[in-house]
C-alpha cells in the first residue's frame, strides 16, 4: 500500500488537533480560555537600515524586524507561539534545536501543511531542554532565510550560571547590490552546486558587522556570549583578540568547559562562550572572521574607564547542568551509513530522485538537483519520498556519514540531539552533543543517538542551497 505524504500529514495534523486556520480564528479555536494568550509572531515585509546612514534595505522579517524578536523561556515552560503569515507566499516556522513533538516541527509537507498568506498556526509544546536555539522558516528556506526570516530562541537553565552580561550575537549575511537592495538571485544552480549563496555583508543582530558593533564591558566582568549562525551558507571561523574564550555549550547542549582559539560555526550551529574581561580600562579588542571569504572584523569588546568590577575571574562555576536525554550505547547500537555525493567538482553518476532512478546529469539539468544522500535526492517539497532510514522507537543508532564531496556540510538532524563520536575514525575529545555537525570536505563523521522521538524528521545540510539542491532527507522513528 502506498500512502502519500499528504495523507500521512492529514492524519498527523488531525491527531494533534492542528489546523491552518484563516486569520483571526486560530486563537479562539485552539486555546482554552484559561491559557494566557500565545506569543504572536508575524512574517511580513520590513525595511531596515543595515548600516548607519545607508538607504533602507527591503527584507522579510518577523514582527517588523530582522532578526525577529529574541524568544525567551525557561526550561520546563510551555511555548505557545501563534505564527501569522503576512507574506504573499506560504511559510512555516521551524524551532531549530528545540526537541518538539513531530507535528510542531514546522516542516511543510512533512509535519504540517504550509501556512497560507493571511493564515495562522498555533505552535505549542513543552520545553524539555535549556539552550541557545533559533527559529526560521523551513519553507523555501534558501530564499526565506536570507531574506531575513530568523531569530534567536533562548531557553534559560533552571539555575543559570552566574555572569554579569548574557549576550546574543546572531550572525547572518545579506547579498547587497549597488543600490543597497538584496540581489534576488536565490536558488541559482551555480550556488546550489558550490558553497551556496554567500552574502557580501555580514550582519550581527541585523546590523552591519564591524567597528560599529561594540559591546561595552567593564574590567573584571564575566560575559556569556551566545553565537548563532543564521546565515544560509557562510561558514564563520571566529577568533577574539586578548581574551580566552571558554566553550560551555555547543548547539545549546552542555560541553565540558574548555578554551577555544578559533570557532568554526557553520550555518545552523551555535556556541555558548564564557569570557572573563581582564584587560585594561579603555582597551578595545576585535572578534574577527577568517572563514571562507573572511569578513574581517565582526564586532568589538570595548572596556569602559570605570573602576574594575573585580581583579580576577569570578569564582562561580561555569559548567552547565546537562539536559536530560537518552544516552546512546555504542555497544548495542545499530550501524547505518550515509554516503554524500555531488557538487560542482564531483557530481554523482547515478541516483534516484523521488524514488525513480535517473542519471545524475539528467537530474541536474531537469530537476536542479546537485547532491545525493545514499544515491538519492529529494526535492524540498517532495510529497512522495522514502525516508533514508526507518528506526524503531528507542533504538540506539550509530550513523556513519561519508562525505565524498569536496565541500563542507553542516548536517542537521531534527527532533534529536546526537553525540559526535568520531571524525575520520578518531574519537572526539568531548563526545559533544549537537543537532548540527560540520562535516569537512572528504571527511567521515560518526554520530550516535537514541531514536526516541516518534515521527518523520528532517536530516539535511544546513547550507540552505545544498538542501534545496537535494541534500535533504528524512529519518522515520516509530
C-beta of 180: minimal distance to Cu ion in Å? 30
* Nearer Cβ to Cu ion (180/368): 368
Determine the Cα–Cα distance for residues 343 and 348; give it in Å rounded to an integer: 8
**Distances in whole angstroms, Cα of residue 97 to Cα of each of 8, 154, 228, 230, 435:** 24, 11, 12, 13, 6
Nearer to Cu ion, 99 or 136 (CB): 136
Contacts of 215 (CB under 8 A, 6+ apart): 165, 167, 223, 299, 300, 301, 302
Number of H helices, E strands in the chain: 6, 36
> Least CB distance from residue 465 to Cu ion, whole Å?
8
Nearer to Cu ion, 424 or 478 (CB): 424
User: Shortest Cβ distance from residue 195 to Cu ion (Å)?
Assistant: 9
Specify the DSSP element, H or E, that contains 27: helix 26-30
Q: Which is nearer to Cu ion, 100 or 468 (CB)?
A: 468
Indicate the residue among 299 and 461 with the shorter CB distance to Cu ion. Answer: 461
CA angle (324, 436, 170) in 5-degree steps:
95
- DSSP output for 361-388: HHHHHHH---EEETTEE--TT-SS---S
We find the least distance from the C-beta atom of residue 66 to Cu ion, in angstroms, to be: 24
Nearer to Cu ion, 342 or 415 (CB): 342
190 φ/ψ angles, rounded to the nearest 5 degrees: -60, -40
Minimum distance from residue 378 beta carbon to Cu ion (Å): 14
For the bound state, the minimum distance from the C-beta of residue 25 to Cu ion, rounded and expressed in Å, comes to: 39
CB closer to Cu ion, 287 vs 439: 439
Q: What are phi and psi of 166, to 5 degrees?
A: -115, 110
Question: Please, what is the minimum distance in Å from the beta carbon of residue 408 to Cu ion?
Answer: 7
d(CA 98, CA 154): 10
The full 3-state SS of 440-473, as one line of letters, equals CCCCEEEEEEEECCCEEEEEEECCHHHHHCCCEE
For residue 393, give the C-alpha cell.
522507537
Of 222 and 409, CB closest to Cu ion: 409
CA–CA gap between residue 149 and residue 67 (Å, rounded): 7
Q: Kindly state the cell numbers that stand for 285.
A: 579588542
CB atoms within 10 A of CB 125: 17
Measured from the CB atom, is 45 or 189 closer to Cu ion?
A: 189
Q: How far is the CB of 267 from Cu ion (least distance, A)?
A: 9
CB of 469 to Cu ion, least distance (A): 8
Residues that bind Cu ion (CB under 5 A): 409, 461, 463, 466
Amino acid at each position: 500500500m502506498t500512502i502519500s505524504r499528504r495523507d500521512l500529514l492529514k492524519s498527523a495534523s488531525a491527531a494533534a488537533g492542528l489546523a491552518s486556520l484563516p486569520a483571526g480564528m486560530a486563537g479562539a479555536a485552539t486555546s482554552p480560555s484559561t491559557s494566557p494568550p500565545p506569543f504572536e509572531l508575524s512574517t511580513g515585509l520590513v525595511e531596515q537600515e543595515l548600516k548607519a546612514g545607508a538607504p533602507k534595505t527591503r527584507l522579510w522579517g518577523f514582527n517588523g524586524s530582522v532578526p525577529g524578536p529574541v524568544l525567551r523561556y525557561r526550561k520546563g515552560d510551555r511555548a505557545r507561539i501563534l505564527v501569522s503569515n503576512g507574506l504573499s507566499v506560504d511559510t512555516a516556522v521551524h524551532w531549530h534545536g528545540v526537541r518538539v513533538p513531530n507535528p510542531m516541527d514546522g516542516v511543510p509537507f512533512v509535519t504540517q501543511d504550509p501556512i497560507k498568506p493571511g493564515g495562522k498556526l498555533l505552535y505549542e509544546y513543552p520545553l524539555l531542554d535549556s539552550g541557545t536555539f533559533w527559529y526560521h522558516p523551513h519553507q523555501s528556506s534558501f530564499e526565506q532565510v536570507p531574506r531575513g526570516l530568523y531569530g534567536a530562541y533562548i531557553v534559560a537553565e533552571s539555575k543559570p550560571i552566574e555572569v554579569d552580561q548574557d549576550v546574543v550575537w546572531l550572525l547572518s549575511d545579506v547579498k547587497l547590490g549597488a543600490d543597497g537592495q538584496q540581489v534576488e538571485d536565490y536558488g541559482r544552480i551555480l550556488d546550489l552546486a558550490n558553497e551556496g549563496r554567500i552574502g557580501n555583508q555580514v550582519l550581527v543582530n541585523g546590523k552591519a558587522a564591524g567597528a560599529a558593533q561594540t559591546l561595552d564591558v567593564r574590567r573584571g566582568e564575566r560575559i556569556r556570549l551566545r553565537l548563532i549562525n543564521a546565515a544560509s551558507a557562510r561558514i564563520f571561523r571566529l577568533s577574539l583578540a586578548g581574551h580566552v574564550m571558554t566553550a560551555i555549550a555547543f548547539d545549546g547542549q552542555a560541553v565540558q568547559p574548555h578554551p577555544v582559539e578559533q570557532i568554526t560555526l557553520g550555518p545552523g550551529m551555535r556556541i555558548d562562550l564564557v569570557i572573563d574581561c581582564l584587560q585594561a580600562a579603555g582597551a578595545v579588542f576585535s572578534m574577527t572572521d577568517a572563514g571562507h571569504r573572511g569578513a574581517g572584523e565582526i564586532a568589538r569588546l570595548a572596556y569602559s574607564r570605570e573602576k574594575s568590577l573585580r581583579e580576577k575571574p569570578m569564582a562561580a562555576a561555569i559548567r552547565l547542568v546537562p539536559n536530560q536525554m537518552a544516552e546512546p550505547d555504542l555497544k548495542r547500537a545499530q550501524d547505518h551509513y550515509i554516503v554524500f555525493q555531488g557538487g560542482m567538482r564531483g557530481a554523482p553518476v547515478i541516483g534516484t530522485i523521488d524514488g525513480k532512478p535517473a542519471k545524475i546529469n539528467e537530474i541536474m539539468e531537469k530537476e536542479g538537483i546537485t547532491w545525493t544522500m545514499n544515491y538519492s535526492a529529494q526535492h524540498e517539497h517532495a510529497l512522495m519520498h522514502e525516508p533514508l532510514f526507518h528506526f524503531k522507537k528507542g533504538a540506539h543508532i550509530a550513523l556513519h556519514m561519508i562525505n565524498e564531496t569536496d565541500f563542507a556540510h553542516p548536517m542537521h538532524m531534527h527532533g534529536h540531539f546526537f553525540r559526535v563520536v568520531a571524525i575520520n575514525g578518531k574519537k572526539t575529545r568531548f563526545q559533544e552533543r549537537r543537532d548540527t555537525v560540520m562535516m569537512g570536505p572528504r571527511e567521515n563523521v560518526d554520530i550516535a543517538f537514541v531514536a526516541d522521538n516518534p515521527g518523520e524528521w528532517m536530516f539535511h545540510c544546513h547550507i540552505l542551497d545544498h538542501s534545496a539542491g537535494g541534500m535533504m532527507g528524512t529519518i522515520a522513528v516509530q
